[in-house]
Amino acid sequence: MPSQPPVSPNLRRAPVQQRSADRLARILDSCAGLLDETGYEQLTTRAVAERAEVPIGSVYRFFSNKRALVDALALRNLDAYADRIAARLAGLPAGDWRAAIDAVLDEYLAMKRSVPGFALVDFGPPFPVEGAADDANRRLADRLAVLLAGHLGRRPDEGLSRAILVSVEAADALLQLAFRTDPSGDAAIIAETRTLVRSYLAQTLD
């Protein structure tokens, strides 16, 4: 069954009928697969249309260009990631923030290794627009702050939000290094990332 498309601000037109939603999901799935095969620079809307087996006009019906297409894929990834985190948190003891942080890291690593296109486009395009107001790491941190605050029974106040943003920025840099070193993720660097994030967040969450 095709994955559900995101509600994206980059969509020219939101799908109304299920047939249109399925077509949009197929376009995004095709984009993800081609990113793994060709990279972002070689990605074209025509190739996406051919892979999705839809007319090129169907791609442009939803997206003005490949950047908008990749942005929508990134948003879908974020929605899927948030859903996975929420499911993991539901099975953890309330208030156990260390187990929650492990779940956040583990689900990211699982998606990095298995979800098509995610290695190149996780929660934002590979080449952010300079000066753009939309910041993928801040958007991710905002979602995580709400999820973790709910799990811990507290409000996502400014202190928690800032701590999560710093953790996301630090983990992003270190995990990029881990996957540059080893296509599956350097285990030692990943372990150090986990230790660093836990130690930093202990100041706010203990």
Spell out the per-residue pLDDT of the chain, length 206, in tens: 344 444 455 665 666 578 888 999 999 999 999 999 999 999 999 999 999 999 999 999 999 999 999 999 999 999 999 999 999 999 999 889 999 999 999 999 999 999 999 999 999 888 765 555 458 999 999 999 999 999 999 888 999 999 999 999 999 999 999 999 999 999 999 999 999 999 999 999 98
Give me the pLDDT at residue 1, please. Answer: 37
Alpha carbon distance, N-terminus to C-terminus of the chain = 42
Give me the pLDDT at residue 18, please. Answer: 85
Give me the pLDDT at residue 73, please. Answer: 95
In the numeric block, the tokens 């706010």 are attached to 204
Q: Give me the numbers of helices (H) and strands (E) for the chain, helices first please.
A: 8, 0
Give me the pLDDT at residue 5, please. Answer: 42
Give me the pLDDT at residue 14, please. Answer: 65
Of residues 195, 206, 200, the one with CA closest to residue 102: 195
Say how far apart CA 56 and CA 59 lie, in whole Å. Answer: 5
Cβ-Cβ contacts under 8 Å for 26 (sequence gap 6 or more): 2, 52, 53, 54
Give me the pLDDT at residue 126, please. Answer: 82
Give me the pLDDT at residue 129, please. Answer: 59
Say how far apart CA 189 and CA 182 lie, in whole Å. Answer: 10
Say how far apart CA 12 and CA 56 lie, in whole Å. Answer: 15
Of residues 180, 24, 185, the one with CA closest to residue 106: 185
In eight-state DSSP terms, residue 60 is: H
Give me the pLDDT at residue 15, please. Answer: 61
Give me the pLDDT at residue 30, please. Answer: 97
Say how far apart CA 74 and CA 53 lie, in whole Å. Answer: 22
Say how far apart CA 19 and CA 70 lie, in whole Å. Answer: 21
Cβ-Cβ contacts under 8 Å for 125 (sequence gap 6 or more): 40, 67, 70, 71, 74, 136
- Compute how many other C-beta atoms are within 10 angstroms of the C-beta atom of residue 81: 22
